[in-house]
Chain A
Amino acid sequence: MKRYEYDVLVIGAGPGGSMAARYAARHGLKVLLIEKRPEIGVPVRCAEGISRAWMDEVEIEPQEKWIDAEIDGAKIYSPDEKSVIKLSAEQAGNEVGFVLNREYFDKYLASLAAQEGAEIWLKSPAVEIIKEDGYVRGAIVRRFGEKVEVRAKIVIGADGFESQVARWAGLNTVLRERDIVSCIQYRMTNIDIEENFTHFFIGSCAPGGYVWIFPKGRKEANVGIGVALNKLKSKGEVKKYMDDFIEKHEYLNKGSIIQIVTGAVSTCPVPKRIVDNGIMLVGDAARLIDPITGGGIANACISGKYAGEIAAKCINNPSKECLEEYQNKVKERWEKKHLRNWFVKEKLAELSDDTLNKLMDVVSKEDISEISVRAILEAVQKKYPELIEEFEDLL
């Protein structure tokens, strides 16, 4: 078996992996970024909506090529669609958001890693982790059909929702049924939807999740749905929920589907351990997804940056004690927020359409001055304090 040696091996070239590779390489480390697919950013497994506020922190300069639409705000619809909570960037003085083109965005991030000197291999799935003396020391990679041994002082698991690297390495990222949301999304064309807003529909149309419509411009949009696994009973049910929703909305059912995207997201609190000897997990692989919104791109990029920087610090001592600094930074940043949003998600999943309609009728009349889950919760708290009781100390 051919053998290669690197300082850092990053497994998975999504946003988290590319950012980890970029920051590790920037600090002078010899970095290899591997991707099992033949093309970075394809197939898309994402609704592509993001805010732009976090981009400066990870030194991403918005590029026209990967922005499909600029968004002024979000609209959340009650189950009867009679009440709409409008979160407008303009009125709140917030920055706008984007609907991305992930096919270009992911490639752009990989190019940032390459510019810092990281090497990239495509069509190269990791098939096994190399573990010796309690340390992860690389991976067996199938490169164009040939098995090769890649030795590295530190492995960064950025393999997304699958999170296989973690489990091979002995880190527990197993999800409970209620914390898995199964998703399907159609790229639709020739539909009429207000283009500068993202649209969210909650209630029994998507138990334990929601339906989203994210406009991509030119009468195109990502129309998708996520449903919690514990609410799913039969095979292929998520697609049925999606098709039902589209059938009931005239402005959608006159359109055509030009792409089908599937995937799943985790909606859990931050796991206890995301580092061990010689290994760190970033992004979706570390389950760093907001349990309410299902959003993970920003968290992936930021955690990738943290991991890359800490890899540089610990390269001569990749013990879990040294790498724990990464875990601490992640927990400091997201643990409390994700725990709160996890509570909210659990609550929301229990509410009937009737209760949600009443709740949203009240909240939609409030003046919400910020685009955030917290702002909505504070509005809910005013009218329905009993709903927030359990986790008000997390607000």
Chain B
Amino acid sequence: MNMMNVDPAICNYCGACVGSCPVNCMFLDETIVRIDEDKCIKCGFCIRACPVGAISADWWSE
């Protein structure tokens, strides 16, 4: 699986996740965060960097 999910009901489109990503696998459009799952190294930076907790992943345990 290895799926990441950005909950649009929580996401504020601020880009905190994008700038924290060490491999630049995230992209912030005007109102959507895109994730390139192939490039993702599953470090979890984005999940913690998100101030409101909009990002979850099936490989991340809380």
A residues within 8 Å of B by Cβ?
A: 36-38, 43, 45, 123, 125, 127, 160-164, 167-168, 174-175, 177, 180, 182-184, 229, 232-239, 260-264, 266
A232-B48, A235-B48, A239-B51 given; A167·B24 CB < 8 A: yes
Please judge, given known A-B contacts A125-B29, A162-B15, A229-B45, whether A264 and B20 are in contact too, CB under 8 Å.
yes
A-B pair count, CB < 8 Å, reads 101
Partner of B52 from the list A125, A184, A233 (CB cut-off 8 Å) is A184
The reply on B6 being an interface residue by CB < 8 A is: no
Chain A residues positioned under 8 Å from B49 (CB to CB): 180, 182, 229, 232, 264
Among B14, B18, B52, the residue within 8 A (CB) of A236 is: B52
Q: How far is the CA of A309 from the CA of B2 in the complex (A)?
A: 47
- Contacting pair B48 A263 (CB below 8 A): no
**Minimum CB distance partner of B54 in chain A:** A236
* CB < 8 Å neighbour of A260 from B12, B30, B56: B12
Asked whether, in the complex, the Cβ of B14 is within 8 Å of the Cβ of A125, the reply is: no
Q: A162-B19, A183-B51 are in contact. List 18 more A-B contacts (CB 8 A).
A: A45-B14, A160-B19, A161-B15, A161-B16, A161-B19, A162-B15, A162-B28, A164-B27, A168-B24, A175-B20, A180-B49, A229-B45, A235-B55, A236-B50, A237-B48, A263-B15, A263-B51, A264-B51
How many Å lie between the Cα of A161 and that of B12 in the bound state? 15
Given contacts A167-B24, A229-B48, A264 and B15 within 8 Å (CB-CB): yes
**Could you tell me the distance in whole angstroms from the C-beta of B26 to the nearest C-beta in chain A?**
9
Q: Which residues of chain A have C-beta atoms less than 8 A from B54's C-beta?
A: 236
Bound CA span A182–B45, Å: 11
- Asked whether, in the complex, the Cβ of B51 is within 8 Å of the Cβ of A36, the reply is no
Q: State whether B30 touches A163 (Cβ < 8 A).
A: no
**A262/B12 in contact, CB under 8 A:** yes
Assembled-state Cα–Cα distance A162/B46 (Å):
12
Residues in B neighbouring A260, C-beta threshold 8 A: 12, 52
Interface centre among A233, A262, A263 (most CB of B within 10 A): A262
B51: which of A38, A127, A162, A184 is its contact (CB, 8 Å)?
A: A184
Across the interface, name the chain B residue whose C-beta is closest to A173.
B19
User: In the complex the two chains form, is A37's CB within 8 Å of B18's CB?
Assistant: no
The residue in B15, B22, B29, B60 that gathers the most chain A C-beta atoms within 10 A of its C-beta is B15
Q: Would you give the shortest CB distance from B1 to chain A, in whole angstroms?
A: 18
The verdict on B8 contacting chain A, using a C-beta distance below 8 Å, is: no
Q: Are A36 and B16 in contact (CB under 8 A)?
A: no
Q: Pick the contact of A262 from B52, B56, B62 — CB < 8 Å?
A: B52
In the complex, which residues of chain B have a beta carbon less than 8 angstroms from the beta carbon of A238? 51-52
Q: Which A residues are in CB contact (< 8 Å) with B29?
A: 36, 125
Q: Which residues of A contact B50 (CB under 8 A)?
A: 182, 235-236
Which residue of chain B lies nearest to A224 when distances are taken between CB atoms in the complex? B51
